Amino acid sequence: MSKLFAPIAATLCSLTLLACIVACKGKNEPDPHAIIAPARCLPRIVRTLPHDTAAFTQGLVFNGETLYESTGLRHQSSIRILDTNGLLLALRPMSGAVFAEGCAVCAGNLYQLTWQERQCFVYTLPGLTCIDTLSYAGEGWGLTANGTQLIMSNGSDTLYIRDRRFSLIGRLPVTCGGKPLGRLNELEFARGCVYANVWFSDYLFEIDPQRGIVKRIIDCADLVAREAPSSEDHVFNGIAYHTESGLFYLTGKRWKTLFVVEIPAP
Binding site for Ca ion (CB under 5 A): 60-61, 188, 239
Nearest Cα neighbor of 180 from 161, 160, 209, 157 is 157
Question: Is 36 or 172 the residue whose CB approaches Ca ion more closely?
Answer: 172
Alpha carbon 104 to chain centroid, angstroms: 10
* Beta-bridge partners for 67: 62, 82
Say if strands 214-219 and 236-242 run parallel, antiparallel, or are unpaired.
unpaired
Closest approach of Ca ion to the CB of residue 248, in Å: 10
Closest approach of Ca ion to the CB of residue 109, in Å: 15
Closest approach of Ca ion to the CB of residue 210, in Å: 20
CA 252 – CA 141 distance, rounded (Å):
14
Closest approach of Ca ion to the CB of residue 197, in Å: 9
Question: Is 7 or 147 the residue whose CB approaches Ca ion more closely?
Answer: 147
Which residue, judged by CB position, is nearest to Ca ion in the bound state? 188
Question: Is 60 or 98 the residue whose CB approaches Ca ion more closely?
Answer: 60
Question: Is 61 or 82 the residue whose CB approaches Ca ion more closely?
Answer: 61
140 near 114, Cβ under 8 Å?
yes
Which sign, positive or negative, has the C-alpha torsion 152, 189, 56, 92?
negative
